[in-house]
Structure formats: C-alpha cells, structure tokens
Structure 1
Amino acid sequence: MTSATTSWQPSASLKALRERAALLAQIRQFFAGRAVLEAEVPVLSHRATSDPHIDSITALCNGEPAYLATSPEFGLKRLLAAGFGDCYYLGKAFREGEAGGRHNPEFTMLEWYRIGWDDRRLMEEVGELLSLALGIEDIRSLSYRALFLHHLQLDPHTASDEALRDCVRREVELSFVPASRDECLDLLMSHRLEPTMGEGITLLYDFPASQAALARVEVDENGTQVARRFEAYVAGLELANGYWELTDAEEQQRRFEADHRYRAMQKLHVYPYEERLVAALEVGMPDCAGVALGVDRLLMLAGGYQRIEEVIAFPIERA
C-alpha cells in the first residue's frame, strides 16, 4: 500500500470541516453587520517579513525570488493609505518552520483594521467576536504589568535584568540561560502565566516597549513607556495580537532597519522588506487599530479539538 493510498483523505473529520465553513460564514456575517469590507491582498509578493521571529516561505515567480505572505498586513495598510476604509482579510497565510499541535506552515488568518480606533476600543470588539464564536461570556482585561505583579510579584517594565533571570530560574526548568530580557519575559509568559488564565477570554494589554513590533509606544499612567498592543487568550491559548498601529514613516523605516540588523547579527536570512509600506505611511495612513486572529486555533477551541490537523482538511503532511 503506497503512502498516497492512505494520505489522500482529509485529516479533519467532515463534521469539523462543516464547522469550519459555519465559522467562516459567521465571521463574515459579523463584519457585514458592522460595515467592515472584506479585502483581497496578494499572498505572493516580492517583499517579505522583517520580523526576527518569523521566516517567510520562498518561491520563484517569473524567474525572480518571491515570498508567500506571513500575514496580509502590508497589503491592507496600503489599502488604508489609499482610502479604502475599515476592512478585513480572511484567508491563507504562510510561515516557514511552523509545525506542531497548534501550527501548520499554511494556516487561515483573520486580520482587520478600524480607522479612528485605538487598541482599547479594538480589544473590546475582539472580545465580542470571540464571545460570539465560542459562546463565552467571561471576558476580562488586564495589563501585562498587572498579570506579572499578581502571579510573580514582579514588575516586567522596571525589574532589573538580574531580577528577571532569577525569576526564570525559580519558575521555569531550563537547560540554558536566556539570552535577553525579552526572552526571560517570553519564557515566564508561556511557561508560568498563560496556564493561569483560565477558561474565559483574557485580553492582555500594554506590553513592554521592546515588544512593540508595529505598534505605537506611549507613556502609561505610571510614566512607563509601553507598547500599545494587546493579545487575546482563551484557556491560555493565544488567539489574537492587536496594535494601535504605527503611522510614522520614519519610525517604521527605523524598525525595519533594526530588524534587518538583528537578523544579520543572529545569522538569519535577511529578506527584502516592504518599502512600499513606508511610502504609504509617508503619504499618510489614517490613525487606526488592527488585529490578527488565528482562525484554525479558534475552531479548535470552538469544537474542542486538540490538534490543528483535526480542523484542517489537508495539513502539510497531506498537501
């Protein structure tokens, strides 16, 4: 019996695939009722992500290197700068090296942008969508600082590097020494804090400024610089990552270049970044907030599935 004989069938049950279709329809209905337009943007581009923690999948197009989109962000922001208005993308995204119970290199992403909104207002809408899709009414919002203080008695914004390393040594069993402050924070979040979040919807906001990515950096009520971004969790599983979007072209250029320097220093592949986004910001992208949400993970939670292949017809092993 050949491998093709056994692997032609979908890994997900027909029940799960029908639940997927219903969820996609529910999402589209949610945005139709709020006058947010669905937009199509390229999933194949001559530009790639600069994010040091994400790798693009490389292709060949007309004899030149091209890249499968790791998210629809750059295309949607160019539409915003052109005056398209509130919009969302619901479709495929691709990331190299994504494998495991919650990851597949090809996955379904929902990403949307709201003009004139900040991260707090968009955070509320994320909670409403998740509540609708999951039937969960328990929604809580708290700051990144409050979560660390409550469970670890440590302020993640002001604690010294040594205090963070000591906390990691106490709370996490590791065979290596974390290389940076942000690595310490990420280890504490994933190994110690995410498991405390419970079955409800947790909306976590005001991350360290060093983790701003493409979010604005503002001063909070304690006089600390924080990244105006948030993450949404259910049962300790991260579902969404949102920003009060950066609209400063010079700062965007600086962050792209900083990403490139970091990738080069870490001996990672350096991809051509999206200078057309910088050009769009120079013309003027409206103030807005945006968020990306993993649809496959959402379906896993909604249907009680444990592994991503249970909700995808043909994961990479069968593609």
Structure 2
Amino acid sequence: MSESLWRPTAPLENLRRRATLLADIRRFFAERQVLEMEVPILSRRATSDPHIDSIVADCSGAPAFLATSPEFGLKRLLAAGIGDCYYLGKAFRNGEAGGRHNPEFTMLEWYRVGWDDHRLMIEVGEFLSWVLKISHVRSYSYRALFLQHLDVDPHRASFEELKAVLARVLEISFEPAGRDECLDLLMSHHIEPAMGEGITLVYDFPASQAALARVEEDELGVPVARRFEAYVGGMELANGYWELTDAPEQLRRFEADQRYREDNDKPVNPFEERLVQALEAGMPACAGVALGVDRLLMLACGAGRIDEVIGFPIDRA
C-alpha cells in the first residue's frame, strides 16, 4: 500500500476555500431570511428517478437508502408550513464517480414559497454571479438554443428528424432509445461545449423531461416543463423547478418511474408516498433548485477535477 494514500487529494488551500464558501453560502441565505433545515440522509424510501440509483444500507435488519437529494424532506417541511428554506450538506448517488462526480457529494438545495421558475432563475443567476464574480448572465429557452445551434425545434421534431441531426453533428456507435436520448446527447455533446464563458440559464425543457416540475403551455401553445438548468462555461451546476403540487399527478409520475425501472431491469425500491401525502395536505406553490457545491468550488478554484476540491474522494474514503 502506498504511504501517500492517507493524504487528502485536494490541496489544503482548496479545502480552506471550501470552508469559506460554505460560510458564504450560509451568509447569503441568512441575509435573505431563508432558513437552513436538516432532513434525514438515511431513509426507508429511495429515489424513483430512473436515471439515478440510491446507495443501499442495512439498518436494523431492513434496507435503508442514503438520500440522493434532500428534496422529499424539504417538501414535507414546506407542506408543514416552514416557509423559505434550504439544505446544505451531503447527498449520495450510486455509480457516480469520475472527473466531475463522486458518490458522496455536497448539495445546496433551496425553496422559495410563492415564486415561479423564472423568479428563482434570477436569484440563481445572482447567487452564481456573487460567488464566482461573474457579471455576464444570459438566458435562453431550450427551443432557442436548439434553433441557434442545430436549426431544429426540439419540441416538435420527430424521433427520425432528431436522429438525422445527431448523425450529422456527432459520431455515435449505437441506436438512441428515443427522442429524449437524442436531445440529451445533442445538449451535452454539442450545445453545452459551445456555451462559452459566463453564466447560461436554460428554461422551458421538453415536457417529457419534467421530473418533478409543472408542465404548462409556452407562448407557442406547446407543453413544456417549467424547469431550468444553470451552466457556467458549459458545466452544469444547478437544476430548478416550478414545483409540482398536484398529488395525483405526482403519484402518476412515481408509478411511471417504477414501471420504467421494472421494464429496464433497474432496482425497484419503495418510493416516497409521504410526499404524495404532503401534496394532498397542501404544499404551497413554490420554486426550488438543487446546486452542486463541489462543482461550484471547482470553478471558484480553477480546478479541473472534483478530487482537487474534496479531501477524500471515494478511492481514499
């Protein structure tokens, strides 16, 4: 065994910068009277998101799951009347390790009661500008980006049309599974690298990518997901929603996720039915956003890999 494996992978200066950043984040929200909340990071319920896998633990002889985000706990607090709130702490996702990922990571998630996605998008831009000292903030609809970079309407193009665009701009050795996979590949491999410097906010995603966001018609009468993503220099940092408050629709989406998992041989675990109960009780209209603190610190430090801003990533934990 190497004698150096006890050492942190991040330079100590970056770890000191992390401590300063966490204090700055708490000051940002204290000044805006947003309360810091704690929620469980070990639960009897798992994420149902088909694209995220929970880490399973044995707890008193029964399975428990490390939280992939604080979302469900915070929304239950919102339904109980806590008001504007945030979480700053650890989250866990299985199988996510690499230059920008670690299975254990630091997440910032906050909720604003009475706000929609566009109002929260402004605050996210202000937050990122303040932390990173960047003044250039621009916003585009998802449609506008695809028209600008690929001359295709992502909401109306057929699967065949999207495959043709994909073949024109990217080399892939497999058949995409559907429209959303085509769109994701075009966004991540063609549009994101071309975003350039500064803060880019993208809103009105395809309705099929709504996750836990509301779906409403845009100015052209096309159903879109009322959610946004924030990028800096082409790196995705945050994902925000005008939150779904419809309990039956939430249950339908959970059940659809479970069917997808079953059909694709992915683990099917207990989903958070208590969120449905919270929505039935009356969660207030609100907007929420989750932001990756480690990636934010990478940008603040000019780091190229996540292990330059984490003391002990998974291979040294």
TM-score normalized by the length of structure 1: 0.99
Query: How far does the alpha carbon of each residue in 1:82-125 deviate from its partner, in whole angstroms, 9 at most, with x for none?
Result: 00010000000000000110000000000000000000000000
What secondary structure is seen at the aligned counterpart in 2 of 1:273?
Answer: coil
For 1:242, the aligned partner's letter is G
Q: Does 1:24 align with 2:22?
A: yes
What is the aligned counterpart of 1:196 among 194, 198, 213? 194
Taking the aligned partners of 1:21 and 1:30, their CA distance within structure 2 comes to 14
For 1:48, the aligned partner's letter is A
What secondary structure is seen at the aligned counterpart in 2 of 1:316?
Answer: coil
What pairs up with 1:101-120 in 2 under 5 angstroms?
Answer: 101-120=99-118
Residue 181 (structure 1) aligns with: 179
Taking the aligned partners of 2:298 and 2:149, their CA distance within structure 1 comes to 28
What is the aligned counterpart of 1:311 among 300, 309, 312? 309
What is the aligned counterpart of 1:248 among 246, 249, 260? 246
Query: How far does the alpha carbon of each residue in 1:118-139 deviate from its partner, in whole angstroms, 9 at most, with x for none?
Result: 0000000000000011000000
Q: Does 1:145 align with 2:105?
A: no
Taking the aligned partners of 2:155 and 2:167, their CA distance within structure 1 comes to 19
Taking the aligned partners of 2:217 and 2:111, their CA distance within structure 1 comes to 23
Shift of 1:271: 1.2
Residue 70 (structure 1) aligns with: 68
Residue 285 (structure 1) aligns with: 283
Taking the aligned partners of 2:211 and 2:249, their CA distance within structure 1 comes to 11
For 1:89, the aligned partner's letter is Y
Residue 235 (structure 2) aligns with: 237
Shift of 1:228: 0.0
Residue 160 (structure 1) aligns with: 158
Instruction: Say how many residue pairs are matched.
Output: 317
Shift of 1:177: 1.1
What runs of 5+ residues in structure 2 fail to find an aligned partner?
A: none
Shift of 1:160: 1.2
Taking the aligned partners of 2:161 and 2:314, their CA distance within structure 1 comes to 42
Residue 80 (structure 2) aligns with: 82
For 1:84, the aligned partner's letter is I
What secondary structure is seen at the aligned counterpart in 2 of 1:318?
Answer: coil
Shift of 1:164: 0.3
Shift of 1:7: 1.0
Taking the aligned partners of 2:147 and 2:210, their CA distance within structure 1 comes to 21
Taking the aligned partners of 1:270 and 1:135, their CA distance within structure 2 comes to 43
Residue 172 (structure 1) aligns with: 170
Residue 271 (structure 1) aligns with: 269
What secondary structure is seen at the aligned counterpart in 1 of 2:29?
Answer: helix
Taking the aligned partners of 2:222 and 2:63, their CA distance within structure 1 comes to 42
Residue 221 (structure 2) aligns with: 223
Query: How far does the alpha carbon of each residue in 1:175-223 deviate from its partner, in whole angstroms, 9 at most, with x for none?
Result: 1010110000000001100011111000000000000000000000000
Taking the aligned partners of 1:42 and 1:125, their CA distance within structure 2 comes to 26
What runs of 5+ residues in structure 1 fail to find an aligned partner?
A: none
Residue 36 (structure 2) aligns with: 38
Sequence identity percentage: 74
CA RMSD, Structure 1 to Structure 2 (Å): 0.5
Shift of 1:33: 0.4
Q: Does 1:297 align with 2:295?
A: yes
Shift of 1:62: 1.0
For 1:169, the aligned partner's letter is A
Q: Does 1:99 align with 2:97?
A: yes
Shift of 1:241: 0.1
For 2:287, the aligned partner's letter is A
Query: How far does the alpha carbon of each residue in 1:41-76 deviate from its partner, in whole angstroms, 9 at most, with x for none?
Result: 000000000000000000011111000000000000
TM-score normalized by the length of structure 2: 0.99
